[in-house]
């Protein structure tokens, strides 16, 4: 890479189960205003390009990017939309800045999940239209099948998975912006309704609303504008087989390959030692464990023991999802990946308030696109 890239500003609205007081436009505006204020930039003068991450059907508008430029100050400027998980937006900005074409970019994503009244049908609409969709199943059976296979292959137990839910919801109590903070016990998870066996209700995250904007800049601009730049040292993304018939069910191959790419770009050779903490996808409890293994953040087959021993607690040796993760904060549709990045940025800047980690300099954020997709992205961030 020719250029170093840094996150120089973040802005977001609180993550809430419903947000009837604002339209998606007003939500985007609020998050953007805060991010530009944080970065000390004027979007109309200082930002060269914008990228937003939103899926059409999630928002109920075809070609959603029609609705984006006005709300983030991008009118008559370079702006494009990725119908993708928002970590891809950060990767996109990383690439564009590295071409030398632009110096300062904004990345936006938001969730208005509460406005989508038939979310399970929405996910069903993502299935293979010829082969799988006509079966008419609630598509989350895929997560149940995957969990079953993962537990079978790895030896991880349902109890260990339940502890992820306990940990993340407790972490969220220290995050004033999280929607689903709670103090629960392992048995609460194990005794909650079976949804898609072995997946119980409290193994699953719930949707939340919220908008996030980040300002990303090349090194020169970052040093010029910002006292506490957070460097994007590496990004990686990958798609594994989309079809249910040909995919790996036990291993998160997409996360392994995206991680390998990000480590290569960042020059990380031993992630377990070089990375201090992580925010990984925890749409479902088992996903956090599956992703930790795929990202080589624990020894193979050890993710279950890690959570059992408390190593991934906020006070543990390798804190995971200190923000509360999707289980505690809420699942923010496409904005989920940026919420992970947001937490890493706040921690690395020392601005995480009561949940601040001590002595952290390298953090990892990872996202997964959600059922029924088989793809995801990774970013490695550092304050040095």
Partner 1 sequence: MRKVAVVGAGMTKFMRRAQETGKELAWETAKLALDSCELTVKDVDCVVMGTAPDAFDMVHMKHEYLSDGAGAWRKPYVRGVLGGGTGVFTACQAWYHVASGMFDVCLAVTEEKMSSCLPHPQGAFVTCWDQFTESPLGTSLLWFFAWEMNRYMTSHGITEREIALVSVKNKKNALHHPCAQLPGEITVDDVMKSEIMAWPVKRLDVSPTSDGAAVLVFASEEVAKRITDRPVWVQGVGWCLDTMYIGQRDLYYPKYVEYAARMAYDMAGIKDPRREIDIAEPYDPFSYKELHHGEGLLLCDKGEAVRLLVDGETQKTGRQPWCPSGGALGVGNAIAATGVMKVAELFWQLRGEAGERQVPGRPRRGVAQAWGDEMQVGTVVVLGV
Partner 2 sequence: MSEKIKSWPGTPLGEKEIKEKRILVTEWQPNLKYAWDTGAGYGRDFAELKKGKIVGTKCNKCRRTLLPARLFCEWCFRTADEWVYLKDTGTVNTFSVAYTGTAAERLKVPRIPALIEIDGSGGVAIMHLISDVDPWKVKIGMKVKAVWKPKQKREGAITDIDYWKPI
Residue (119 or 316) nearer to partner 2, CB: 119
The SS3 assignment for 233 reads strand
Q: Site for partner 1 (CB under 8 A): how many residues?
A: 66
Q: How far apart are CA 300 and CA 199, in angstroms?
A: 23
Q: Which of partner 1, partner 2, none binds 242 (CB below 5-8 Å, type-dependent)?
A: partner 1
Q: How far is the CB of 221 from partner 1 (least distance, A)?
A: 17
Q: Rounded to an integer, what is the distance from CA 197 to the centroid of its chain?
A: 25
Cis peptide before 198 (omega within 30 of 0): yes
How is residue 16 written in tokens?
Answer: 């809430």
| Contact flag: residue 130 with partner 1 (CB under 8 A) | yes
Q: Are 366 and 259 in contact (CB under 8 A)?
A: yes
Q: Are 363 and 277 in contact (CB under 8 A)?
A: yes
| Contact flag: residue 217 with partner 1 (CB under 8 A) | no
Q: Are strands 194-196 and 277-279 parallel, antiparallel or unpaired?
A: unpaired
Q: Please, which residues bridge with residue 52 across strands?
A: 81, 108
| Contact flag: residue 342 with partner 1 (CB under 8 A) | no
Q: How far apart are CA 43 and CA 216, in angstroms?
A: 12
Q: Which of partner 2, partner 1, none binds 201 (CB below 5-8 Å, type-dependent)?
A: none
Q: How far is the CB of 308 from partner 1 (least distance, A)?
A: 32
Binding mask 257-286 for partner 1 (x = CB under 8 A): xx--x---x---------------------
Which residue stretch of 222-230, 234-242, 289-297, 318-326 sits at the interface with partner 1 (rule: CB under 8 A)? 234-242
Q: How far apart are CA 276 and CA 64, in angstroms?
A: 37
Q: How far apart are CA 120 and CA 136, in angstroms?
A: 11
Spatial CA neighbour of 85 closest among 200, 255, 241, 232: 255
Q: How far apart are CA 24 and CA 241, in angstroms?
A: 33
Residue (127 or 147) nearer to partner 1, CB: 127
| Contact flag: residue 128 with partner 1 (CB under 8 A) | yes
Long-range contacts of 134-142 (CB under 8 A, 24+ apart): 138/196, 139/371, 139/372, 140/195, 140/196, 140/199, 140/204, 140/371, 141/196, 142/244, 142/371, 142/372
Q: Which of partner 2, partner 1, none binds 302 (CB below 5-8 Å, type-dependent)?
A: none
Binding mask 85-124 for partner 2 (x = CB under 8 A): ---------------------------x-xxxxx--xx--
The SS3 assignment for 317 reads coil
Residue (130 or 273) nearer to partner 2, CB: 130
Residue (42 or 317) nearer to partner 1, CB: 42
Spatial CA neighbour of 186 closest among 207, 208, 157: 157
| Contact flag: residue 119 with partner 1 (CB under 8 A) | no
| Contact flag: residue 71 with partner 2 (CB under 8 A) | yes
Residue (5 or 172) nearer to partner 1, CB: 5
| Contact flag: residue 135 with partner 1 (CB under 8 A) | no
Q: Which of 130, 183, 193, 270 binds partner 2 (CB under 8 A)?
A: 130
Q: Which of partner 2, partner 1, none binds 356 (CB below 5-8 Å, type-dependent)?
A: none
Please give the residues from 54 up to 113 whose contact with partner 1 meets the rule CB under 8 A. 55-58, 60-70, 74-84, 88, 91-92, 94-96, 98-101
Q: Are strands 277-279 and 199-200 parallel, antiparallel or unpaired?
A: unpaired
Q: Which distant-in-sequence residues (6+ apart) come within 8 Å of 66 by Cβ?
A: none
Q: Which of partner 2, partner 1, none binds 123 (CB below 5-8 Å, type-dependent)?
A: partner 1
Query: Binding residues for partner 1, per CB under 8 A?
Result: 1-2, 55-58, 60-70, 74-84, 88, 91-92, 94-96, 98-101, 122-123, 125-130, 236-243, 246, 253-254, 257-258, 261, 265, 369, 372-375
Query: Binding residues for partner 2, per CB under 8 A?
Result: 19-27, 29, 32-33, 36, 42-44, 57, 60, 69-71, 73, 75, 112, 114-118, 121-122, 125, 129-130, 133-134
């Amino acid at each position: 890479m020719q250029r170093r890239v840094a996150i120089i500003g973040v802005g977001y609205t609180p993550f809430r189960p419903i947000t009837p007081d604002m339209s998606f436009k007003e939500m985007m505006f609020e998050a953007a205003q805060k991010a530009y204020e944080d970065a000390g930039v004027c979007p109309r003068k200082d930002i060269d390009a914008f990228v937003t991450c939103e899926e059409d059907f999630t928002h109920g508008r075809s070609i959603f990017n029609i609705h984006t430029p006005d709300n983030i100050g991008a009118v008559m400027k370079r702006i494009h939309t990725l119908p993708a998980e928002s970590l891809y937006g950060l990767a996109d900005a990383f690439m564009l800045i590295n071409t030398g074409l632009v110096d300062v970019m904004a990345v936006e994503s938001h969730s208005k999940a509460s406005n989508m009244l038939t979310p399970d049908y929405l996910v069903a609409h993502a299935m293979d239209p010829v082969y799988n969709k006509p079966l008419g199943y609630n598509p989350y059976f895929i997560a149940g099948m995957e969990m079953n296979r993962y537990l079978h292959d790895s030896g991880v137990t349902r109890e260990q998975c339940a502890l992820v839910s306990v940990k993340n919801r407790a972490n969220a109590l220290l995050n004033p912006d999280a929607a689903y903070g709670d103090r629960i016990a392992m048995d609460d998870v194990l005794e909650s309704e079976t949804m898609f066996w072995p997946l119980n209700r409290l193994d699953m995250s719930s949707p939340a609303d919220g908008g996030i904007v980040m300002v990303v800049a090349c090194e020169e601009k970052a040093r010029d504008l910002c006292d506490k730049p957070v460097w994007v040292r590496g990004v990686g993304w990958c798609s594994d087989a989309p079809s249910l018939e040909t995919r790996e069910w036990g291993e998160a191959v997409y996360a392994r390959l995206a991680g390998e790419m990000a480590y290569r770009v960042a020059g990380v050779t031993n992630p377990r030692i070089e990375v201090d903490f992580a925010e990984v996808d925890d749409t479902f409890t088992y996903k956090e464990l599956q992703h930790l293994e795929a990202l080589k953040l624990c020894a193979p087959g050890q993710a279950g023991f890690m959570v059992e021993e408390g190593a991934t607690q906020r006070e543990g040796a390798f804190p995971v999802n200190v923000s509360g993760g999707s289980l505690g904060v809420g699942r923010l549709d496409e904005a989920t990946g940026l919420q992970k990045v947001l937490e890493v940025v706040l921690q690395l800047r020392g601005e995480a308030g009561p949940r601040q980690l001590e002595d952290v300099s390298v953090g990892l954020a990872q996202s997964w696109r959600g059922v029924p997709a088989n793809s995801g992205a990774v970013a490695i961030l550092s304050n040095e």
